[in-house]
Structure 1
Amino acid sequence: MARIGTGAVVTTLTASALALVTVLALQAKSSANVTPAASGKPGASASASAGASAKASAPKPVAVPARSGTGKRVVYALGAKRVWLVTAAGTATRTFTVQPSTLSPSAGTYNVYSHSADTRTGSDGVEIKNVVIFAQRGSTVFGFSSATDGTTPAPDPAKKTGGIRETLGDGQALFDFTVAGSKVVVIA
């Protein structure tokens, strides 16, 4: 009886495995290319399920809170951690969640008194931009800003600050929506 060396066995097994992987890859590629969209006619079940999927995943609009004032304004709901940019007609052009700091402003109506796109260091030590300041209580200043790295982490509970953080896109939208003197309504 002839003896087969270990090298020959390993070579044969490796070649067989590569051949199997190639066959499976070709099968996967050919099945991926045969779709209803590729044939030019989507199947009824494909379009129905796509429509149902889009409806299920579309976020429901969040209405502007009742009793949040009138006219053009920024509405900040403390409990919901959400901001609305509201037109003079009372329609929200954008709404988004925010990350509040350890201290919060009291409910009420305020006016923006500082509005700066400059990059600076926030009172929590984070580099921020698009700063919109609207209130102050004692030495704590309350305002919206975005961290330049785009993050919105929970604040350090040891630091008593009033920065309200939003994403870079939301921060830019809020900054563009406001000017010095713009109304900010804070609700519970």
Structure 2
Amino acid sequence: MASVVLITAAALVGVGVLAVQANGSAPNKSATTTIDKPAQPQPPSTNQSGQTVTPPPDPNALPENSGKGKRVVYSLGKSRVWLVGADEKVQLSAPSVAGTVSPAPGTYPVSKWYTTNQGGDRTAVQYQVLWGPSSNNTKFGFDAVAGLPADQMPPKPASGTTTGGVRLTQNDALAVWQFATVKGTQVVVVP
């Protein structure tokens, strides 16, 4: 019985010694060591039929061909507004509610701004930033409906009214107002 215990103990010690030796012979790498491997391209996603699946575009991504430099970008098709800094970084991407009159795609200078005013549809608004073509440089604007909670989207303009106001939440309209009320700010309208 004692010999079985001795043999078992010797076997365990032997396994322990081998483990320590194996550990000691492994390459010593610090936690900050990086291995330079060429990046492996990810295989494209496929569906059950084996067809390549392209992920949908990010709906919040800044549209291509939307100008350069500091600007406010307004997408007619996406009903979205972006604030883009001079460094080309998006500072805000916000949903919007279009007015009943839409601007033509193009670049427009910001012409005026008001902390409170009245929209073309006679709605009390705040944080209004006006812009438009040279023939009517106040025809369009970004604003928020006064009296709504700060993060509530405004309703669509009432049917039968005329407004070029692009409505935002009060929080987003304030951000646009603070960004765009600097001389020379441009509004770029894209389809």
How does the TM-score come out when normalised to structure 2? 0.62
Name the SS of the counterpart of 2:139 in structure 1: strand
CA distance in 2, matches of 1:70, 1:139: 21
| Letter in structure 2 aligned against 1:93 | Q
* One-letter amino acid of the structure 1 residue matched with residue 108 of structure 2: Y
Q: Deviations over 1:23-82 (max 9, x none)?
A: xxxxxxxxxxxxxxxxxxxxxxxxxxxxxxxxxxxxx78221110010010000000000
Q: Is 1:185 aligned to 2:188, yes or no?
A: yes
Unaligned runs of 5+ in 1: 1-59
Corresponding residue for residue 28 of structure 2: none
Q: How many residues align?
A: 128
> The residue matched to 1:176 in structure 2 has which SS?
helix
One-letter amino acid matched to 1:145:
D
Tell me if the contact between 1:64 and 1:91 (Cα under 8 Å) persists in the aligned partners.
no
Contact 1:140-1:161 at 8 Å conserved across structures: no
**1:73–1:85 CA contact under 8 A, matched in 2:** yes
Q: 1:138 and 1:94, CA in 2 relative to 1: closer, same or farther beyond 3 A?
A: closer
Which residue pairs with 1:110 in the alignment? 108
Map 1:1-150 → 2, pairs under 5 A: 62-117=60-115, 119-136=116-133, 141-150=139-148
Residue 172 (structure 2) pairs with residue 154 (structure 1)? no
Give yes or no for contact 1:133–1:144 (8 Å, CA) kept in 2: yes
Q: Kindly, what percent of the aligned residue pairs are identical?
A: 38
Note the C-alpha offset of 1:140.
Answer: 7.6
User: Where in structure 2 are there 5+ consecutive unaligned residues?
Assistant: 1-57
Q: CA deviation at 1:126?
A: 1.1
The structure number with the bigger radius of gyration is 2
* One-letter amino acid of the structure 2 residue matched with residue 131 of structure 1: Q
Residue by residue over 1:86-129, the C-alpha shift from the partner in whole angstroms, topping out at 9 and shown as x without a partner, is 01111101100100111111000011001221x22212121111
Distance in 2 between residues matched to 1:120 and 1:140, nearest whole Å: 13
